[in-house]
Chains A and B, each alone.
Chain A
Amino acid sequence: MRNTIISAIILSLFAIIGTALVSFTYDATREKIKTNQRMALLRNLHSIIMPDEHDNDIFTDVVMVNNPTLLGSDKPIPVYRARKQGKPVAAVIASVAPGGYNGNIHLLVGIYQDGSLAGVRVVRHIETPGLGDSIDEQKSDWILGFRGKSLLKPQKSSWKVKRDGGEFDQFTGATITPRAVVKAVYNSLVYFKQNRELLFRPMPEPMPDMRPIPDIKPGQKPADAQQETMQP
């Protein structure tokens, strides 16, 4: 009996020490990690929308939207809004391409106010190295080809990879990955067209907007938003 208690005390002692170590490290690194996540996202955002194209804080000017059919995720997805002198410039939708070869491909789809694409970037994917990963900007230029495209350019029937009769290149040995990305980008454009006005509603401040809009949930903190979508 006595031995059991001593063992229990030792074990709990180490549990406490371990927890202390972890919480201390967490405290010491929290700010830095937040900055890192923010910087990484900003870098991606700014590769789509140039820093001089907007003057607002694109990182905090964000709405959470929910549309599983067009944006590919059951969870609310952040839309970052670029404005210049208060006027809407572009929206960057963090949509998800669900049909990748190895699961979800997380995208940033930047769309100018006129409905043309500012650019697309792949934020996170686990596609096959050497084949599907050519969607990654670091590996090939393919993803840059979306800039300037829109719902009308090309027409709907051409918003496919070449093998399906469209105008987007597939990769040798990998059709599924680009097919998924093309479809997700197209769907994001459709979503943008349907919701452009709502997306650019002024930020509800200081009180949260009381009007219930089923599609859009304003006022979430971007840090939480990122946690939710970047690390499911």
Chain B
Amino acid sequence: MNNGLAKIARDGLWDNNPGLVQLLGLCPLLAVTGTLVNGLGLGLATLLVMMASNITVSLIRNLVRSEVRIAVYVLIIASYVTAVELAMQAYFYDLYKILGIFIPLIVTNCAIIGRAEAFASKTTPLNAATDGLFMGLGFTAVLVVLGGMRELIGMGTILAQAHIMFGEAARNITVQFSETHDVFLLAILPPGAFIGLGLMIAVKNVIDRRMAAKEILSQTQVVSSPSQA
């Protein structure tokens, strides 16, 4: 069982990452990652919705007939998203104003309904919750890295406007790397998002290939070492 959960976690974070492998939910992913904080905000909102909907879908998996299941999933996800949107408006108002339309658009994030249909509807609530958590974390990580990268290259800062998420105390945690206010526009504009995501996918593939090569190498060593002896 523990092994199963570890596999689920690994899938969500790396092997089957929604942003880098499944390439789902690209619309918000590309649109809001102008800064690290924006990416983090949308990522956490998505994570919340994904966990909640996964658990719910798993709980009702024997109750809902297959003819209406997609409609039911959409209903569940839409309700959660609306609830999260309202909560965000109540507790992170400034962030809500920036993320704006992309919060309601979480409903259309294929990654969420995809996990509900492909995974949560066929497994226990515990597995479903784990999957939601780690898929959400994987998605958030991609948003944060892409947002941080674009912010750093585009504006020379990291964690700009952190106070809209972490409160006034965080106003000064912004790291300013370049003194001038010159901006590298390409990184901030939509093409920068595509290029950045493309680079991230490329890097992931390179790492995967290296790891696979290492694994093969170590296996052959294991096989060949007794014969040497």
- Complex alpha-carbon distance, A116 and B95, angstroms: 34
Which residues in A have their C-beta under 8 angstroms from that of B185?
Answer: 128-131
Query: For window 11-66 of chain B, which residues contact chain A by CB distance below 8 Å?
Result: 34, 63-65
Query: How many Å from the CB of B214 to the closest CB on chain A?
Result: 41
Stretch of B79-87, B120-128, B134-142, B198-206 with 4 or more beta carbons under 8 angstroms from chain A: B79-87
Taking a contact as CB atoms under 8 Å apart, the answer to whether B75 and A15 are in contact is yes
- Complex alpha-carbon distance, A19 and B189, angstroms: 38
> What sequence of 0s and 1s flags, for each residue 40-62 of chain A, a beta carbon within 8 Å of any chain B beta carbon?
10000000000000000000000
Interface residue A3 (Cβ < 8 Å from any Cβ of B)? yes
Taking a contact as CB atoms under 8 Å apart, the answer to whether B86 and A33 are in contact is yes
With an 8 Å Cβ cutoff, the count of chain B residues facing the other chain is 31
- Complex alpha-carbon distance, A129 and B189, angstroms: 7
Interface residue A29 (Cβ < 8 Å from any Cβ of B)? yes
Known: A3-B65, A11-B68, A130-B154. A18 touches B86 (CB 8 A): no
Taking a contact as CB atoms under 8 Å apart, the answer to whether A129 and B86 are in contact is no
Q: Which residue of B lies closest to A16 (CB)?
A: B75
Interface residue A6 (Cβ < 8 Å from any Cβ of B)? yes
Interface contact tally, CB-CB below 8 A: 74
Known: A10-B64, A11-B71, A29-B86. A18 touches B189 (CB 8 A): no
- Chain B facing A: main interface SS: helix
Taking a contact as CB atoms under 8 Å apart, the answer to whether A22 and B79 are in contact is yes
Taking a contact as CB atoms under 8 Å apart, the answer to whether A19 and B188 are in contact is no
* Other-chain residue from B67, B89, B183 in contact with A29 (beta carbon distance below 8 A): B89
Chain B residues engaging chain A, CB cutoff 8 angstroms? 34, 63-65, 67-68, 71-72, 75-76, 78-80, 82-83, 86-87, 89-91, 93-94, 97, 154-155, 161, 181, 183, 185, 188-189
With an 8 Å Cβ cutoff, the count of chain A residues facing the other chain is 28
* Other-chain residue from B68, B83, B90 in contact with A7 (beta carbon distance below 8 A): B68
Taking a contact as CB atoms under 8 Å apart, the answer to whether A33 and B90 are in contact is yes
- Complex alpha-carbon distance, A131 and B78, angstroms: 36
Query: For window 107-136 of chain A, which residues contact chain B by CB distance below 8 Å?
Result: 124, 128-131
Taking a contact as CB atoms under 8 Å apart, the answer to whether B86 and A26 are in contact is yes
Which residues in B have their C-beta under 8 angstroms from that of A18?
Answer: 75-76, 78-79
In the assembled complex, 14 residue pairs joining A and B whose CB atoms fall closer than 8 Å, in A order, are: A3-B65, A7-B65, A7-B67, A10-B64, A11-B75, A14-B72, A19-B79, A29-B90, A33-B93, A36-B89, A36-B90, A37-B93, A124-B97, A130-B154
